[in-house]
Amino acid sequence: MTTNQKSEPQADIASMTFERALKELETIVGRLERGDVELEESITIYERGEALRAHCDKLLRQAEAKVEKITLDTNGNPAGTEPLDPT
């Protein structure tokens, strides 16, 4: 972890892609699960992990909002689109 990441743990997250944020989050979870970091660093990387999780969640919600379902007419031909209802 760089000095910049320690002083500003969420500064660069907003510009991350989903894949990059998820990969870093997985790395943080692995380090915390192994328990090989000191308490102070654990707190710092946990906070960064929370920010990464929130960013991934936001990006997923934005992607879901863009997904559309193709509607068909009575003959089975495409007739347009409507928002996807995930339920």
Which residues have CB under 8 Å from 45's CB, separation 6+?
1, 28, 31, 32, 37
Q: For residues 71 and 80, is the Cβ–Cβ distance under 8 A?
A: yes
pLDDT at 84: 67
pLDDT at 8: 55
Give the global pTM: 0.68
- Scan for tokens 């969640």, then name that residue: 57
Query: CA 79, CA 39: separation in Å to the nearest integer?
Result: 58
Q: The domain containing residue 48 runs over which residues?
A: 3-83
Regions of the chain with pLDDT less than 50 = 1-7
Q: Domain count for the chain, please give it.
A: 1
